[in-house]
């Protein structure tokens, strides 16, 4: 590649374009929202209880107050400031207040174990942590485990100050009260670090992904494409996916970028609370992991309620079950859009938008494609490699390691020793996938969860998705157990719906004909609990620890 100031072979100097140097920094997104969509509302279910309303203009002013406060507290360019908070307008103000001044907003996941949260805060070197009343007792009790943290700001007012809180605890409303609602933002390179998010740590120690302003800005533009999330100013967007989980899939950037109305569920993500916000705020689009939608559908069944006005739900984080896609369409006319991504990809990597050819098909024939994780948008490239690094065909059947490349994809981890990309710039996602002739990628497993039987691979995800469709099943999970002859064989774990009973044979008959015969689980166990990890995915590590010594009848 010819670099700036260098001369190409043959003597031609690189010619630069003559357009403006306009660093792609995220403060410009909120500036834009305040200036052009100032009255558009942001509604939050507050941690204190009531539903509170604000707008982009007010959020902008308060975010600038946060910047002033941080500067007074000694935060400088590049310093890390943590947030351990629900999705609320306050949290958005804090994000922009931190990022706008060139500090790094580090979202901490409260669903992790306290030791892990404090380990991550300390590893990141967080100076200050903004937190909700919900997490303040846990954080304050464990603060000694993260010596880098000097102050804790609680996102509430003096009336809610926890008893006995020391001098290092500041209440948010007191912190920003009376400060100017204008402050200088930006003025630094678009390559400046902007956000930090640690991976869920299902594969060893959590690793920090350090987003730049440029990568977040480009991710915003990528997700705004019609065939991606495609928000509009007219949308009312309910962001259930937490801001601490891979940047709420970019919605805290893309909503202000287009001036959409934002609806934030705060601490309540149960079916009734979500349904109330959806109805009262005329929500048109929402995004969350499958378990949230399962809870909502169960609530609607139990309460005999319906959904109106909702047009699309974006589902990702784990594979979307067929029953959800069908239910939303048949009962409410809502399109489920299945997406794949990871913390390392900002997060959106692929999305199962229908192509012109598929759009012509009846809904039933579209289903196999809607259940896949989809195709990459411009700016993201994917490919499949085998273990020797050979590129695999797009035939919809050959499994391979999913590799991803682009300006929104990690190059190396925070404080990591080396780059984590191959010679051609691709990052190994750790997912195993197929890509079909229409370009639709399908995740078959995490590399470490795939079941290796007789030299071939069995997709645990595929079996569990089908099993979860059994009318009596609430959740299903499949793990591989060691087997002397085959290397590994699948064990199916099923949590039944309350009050239901079923036999091993019921489940196996249900799978028959839907999967290859040799994929049939060697045994079925009915369990009371299928644990979910901190980002709503089935915790296979824990399941292997719990059931790893189960004796298969085929042994
Ligand atoms: P995280 O970084 O916590 O968001 O986890 C990323 C991982 O979640 C990916 O590498 C996949 O294994 C999994 N994942 C994300 N989206 C999907 C999806 N739509 N279907 C199946 N697995 C998914």
What is the DSSP secondary-structure string of 371-433?
TS-BBPPTT-EEEEE-TTSPBPP-SSS--EEEEEESTTS-SS-TT-SS--B-TTS-EEEEEEE
Query: What pLDDT sits at residue 351?
Result: 98
Closest CA to 443 of 533, 317, 270, 259: 317
Q: How confident is the model at residue 202 (pLDDT cuts 50, 70, 90)?
A: low
Largest CA distance in the chain: 79
Q: How confident is the model at residue 534 (pLDDT cuts 50, 70, 90)?
A: confident
Query: What pLDDT sits at residue 537?
Result: 84
Q: For residue 52, how far is its CA from the centre of ligand 1 (angstroms)?
A: 32
Query: What pLDDT sits at residue 398?
Result: 94
Q: How confident is the model at residue 533 (pLDDT cuts 50, 70, 90)?
A: confident
Cβ of 459 below 6 Å from ligand 1 = no
CATH number of residue 520's parent domain: 3.30.300.30
**528: in domain:** yes
For residue 344, the ligand 1 atom closest to its alpha carbon is 2
Q: Structure pTM? A: 0.91
Per-residue pLDDT tens digits for 211-223: 999 999 999 999 9
Q: For residue 446, how far is its CA from the centre of ligand 1 (angstroms)?
A: 8
Separation of CA 431 from chain center: 16
Contacts with 18 (C-beta within 8 Å, 6 or more apart), sequence order:
none
The share of the chain scoring above pLDDT 90, in percent, equals 85
**91: in domain:** no
Q: Is pLDDT above 70 for 272?
A: yes
Give the residues across from 488 on adjacent strands: 482
Q: Is pLDDT above 70 for 553?
A: yes
Query: What pLDDT sits at residue 454?
Result: 80
Q: For residue 349, how far is its CA from the centre of ligand 1 (angstroms)?
A: 10
Closest CA to 497 of 298, 304, 290: 298
Give the residues across from 402 on adjacent strands: 384
Q: For residue 407, how far is its CA from the centre of ligand 1 (angstroms)?
A: 19
Q: Contact, 263 vs 283, CB < 8 A?
A: yes
Q: Is pLDDT above 70 for 271?
A: yes
Domain count, the chain: 1
Query: What pLDDT sits at residue 203?
Result: 53
Residue 476's domain comprises 449-547
**Average confidence score pLDDT of the chain:** 94
List the catalytic residues. Answer: 199, 344, 452, 457
Whole-angstrom Cα distance, residue 442 to residue 369? 9
The share of the chain scoring above pLDDT 70, in percent, equals 97
**141: in domain:** no
For residue 343, the ligand 1 atom closest to its alpha carbon is 2
Cβ of 342 below 6 Å from ligand 1 = yes
Q: Contact, 213 vs 25, CB < 8 A?
A: yes
User: Which region among 299-303, 343-347, 372-376, 449-453 has the lowest average model confidence (pLDDT)?
Assistant: 449-453
Query: What pLDDT sits at residue 184?
Result: 97
Structure-token match 């987003």, residue found:
211
Map residue 99 onto helix, strand or coil.
Answer: helix
**484: in domain:** yes
Mean pLDDT of 7-25: 84
**148: in domain:** no
Query: What pLDDT sits at residue 7?
Result: 60
- Sign of the C-alpha dihedral computed for residues 330, 331, 333 and 334 taken in this order: negative
For residue 443, the ligand 1 atom closest to its alpha carbon is 21
**346: in domain:** no
Map residue 345 onto helix, strand or coil.
Answer: helix
Contacts with 414 (C-beta within 8 Å, 6 or more apart), sequence order:
124, 196, 207, 208, 209, 210
Q: Is pLDDT above 70 for 1?
A: no
Query: What pLDDT sits at residue 438?
Result: 97
Per-residue pLDDT tens digits for 368-404: 999 999 999 999 999 999 989 999 999 999 989 999 9
Q: How confident is the model at residue 450 (pLDDT cuts 50, 70, 90)?
A: confident
* H helix or E strand, kind and range, residue 260: none
Q: Is pLDDT above 70 for 204?
A: no
Give the residues across from 312 on adjacent strands: 285, 335
Q: How deeply is 171 buried, as exposed, middle or buried, from its count of CB atoms within 10 A (0-12, 13-18, 19+)?
A: buried
* H helix or E strand, kind and range, residue 30: helix 27-36
Q: Contact, 37 vs 259, CB < 8 A?
A: yes
User: Which region among 10-19, 179-188, 191-200, 480-489 has the lowest average model confidence (pLDDT)?
Assistant: 10-19
Q: Is pLDDT above 70 for 200?
A: no
More confident residue, 243 or 459: 243
Q: Whose CA is nearest to atom 6 of ligand 1?
A: 342
Cβ of 199 below 6 Å from ligand 1 = yes
Mean pLDDT of 162-191: 97
Per DSSP bridges, beta strands 487-496 and 473-483 are antiparallel
């Amino acid at each position: 590649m010819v670099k700036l100031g260098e001369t190409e072979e043959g003597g031609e100097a690189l010619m630069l374009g003559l357009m403006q140097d306009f660093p792609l920094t995220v403060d410009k997104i909120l500036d834009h929202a305040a200036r052009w969509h100032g009255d558009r509302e942001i509604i939050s279910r507050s941690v204190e209880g009531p539903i509170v309303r604000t707008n982009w203009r007010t959020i902008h002013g308060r975010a600038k107050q946060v910047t002033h406060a941080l500067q007074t507290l000694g935060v400088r360019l590049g310093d890390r400031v943590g947030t351990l908070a629900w999705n609320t307008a306050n949290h958005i103000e804090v994000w922009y207040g931190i990022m706008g001044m060139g500090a790094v907003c580090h979202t901490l996941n409260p669903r992790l174990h306290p030791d892990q949260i404090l380990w991550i805060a300390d590893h990141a070197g967080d100076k200050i942590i903004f937190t909700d009343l919900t997490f303040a007792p846990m954080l304050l009790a464990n603060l000694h485990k993260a010596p880098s943290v000097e102050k804790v700001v609680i996102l509430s007012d003096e009336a809610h100050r926890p008893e006995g809180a020391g001098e290092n605890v500041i209440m948010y409303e007191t912190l920003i009260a009376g400060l100017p609602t204008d402050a200088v933002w930006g003025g630094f390179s678009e390559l400046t670090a902007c956000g930090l998010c640690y991976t869920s740590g299902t594969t060893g120690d959590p690793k920090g992904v350090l987003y730049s302003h440029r990568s977040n800005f480009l991710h915003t533009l990528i997700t705004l494409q019609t065939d991606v999330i495609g928000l509009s100013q007219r949308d009312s967007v309910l962001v259930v996916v937490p801001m601490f989980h891979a940047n709420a899939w970019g919605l805290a950037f893309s909503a202000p970028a287009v001036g959409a109305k934002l609806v934030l569920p705060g601490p309540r993500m149960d079916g009734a609370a979500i349904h109330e916000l959806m109805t009262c705020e005329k929500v048109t689009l929402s995004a969350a992991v499958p378990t949230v939608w399962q809870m909502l559908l169960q609530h609607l069944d139990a309460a005999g309620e319906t959904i109106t006005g909702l047009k699309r739900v974006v589902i990702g984080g784990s594979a979307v079950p067929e029953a959800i896609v069908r239910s939303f369409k048949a009962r409410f006319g809502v399109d489920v859009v299945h997406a794949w991504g990871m913390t390392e990809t900002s997060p959106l990597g692929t999305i199962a938008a229908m192509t012109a050819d598929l759009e012509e098909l009846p809904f039933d024939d579209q289903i196999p494609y809607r259940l896949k994780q989809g195709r990459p948008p411009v700016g993201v490239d994917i490919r499949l490699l085998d273990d020797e690094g050979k590129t695999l065909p797009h035939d919809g059947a050959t499994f391979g390691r999913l590799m991803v490349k682009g300006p929104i994809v990690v190059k190396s981890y925070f404080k990591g020793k080396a780059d984590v990309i191959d010679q051609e710039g691709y990052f190994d996602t750790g997912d195993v996938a197929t890509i079909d002739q229409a370009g639709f990628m399908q995740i078959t497993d995490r590399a470490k969860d795939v079941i290796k039987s007789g030299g071939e691979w069995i997709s645990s995800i595929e079996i569990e998705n089908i099993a979860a469709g059994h009318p009596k099943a609430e959740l299903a999970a499949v793990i591989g157990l060691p087997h002397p002859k085959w290397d590994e064989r699948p064990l199916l774990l099923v949590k039944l719906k309350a009050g239901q009973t079923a036999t091993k044979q019921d489940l196996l008959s249900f799978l028959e004909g839907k999967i290859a015969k040799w994929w049939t689980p060697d045994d079925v166990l009915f369990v009371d609990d299928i644990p979910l990890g901190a980002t709503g995915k089935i915790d296979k590590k824990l399941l292997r620890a719990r059931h790893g010594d189960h004796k298969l009848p085929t042994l």
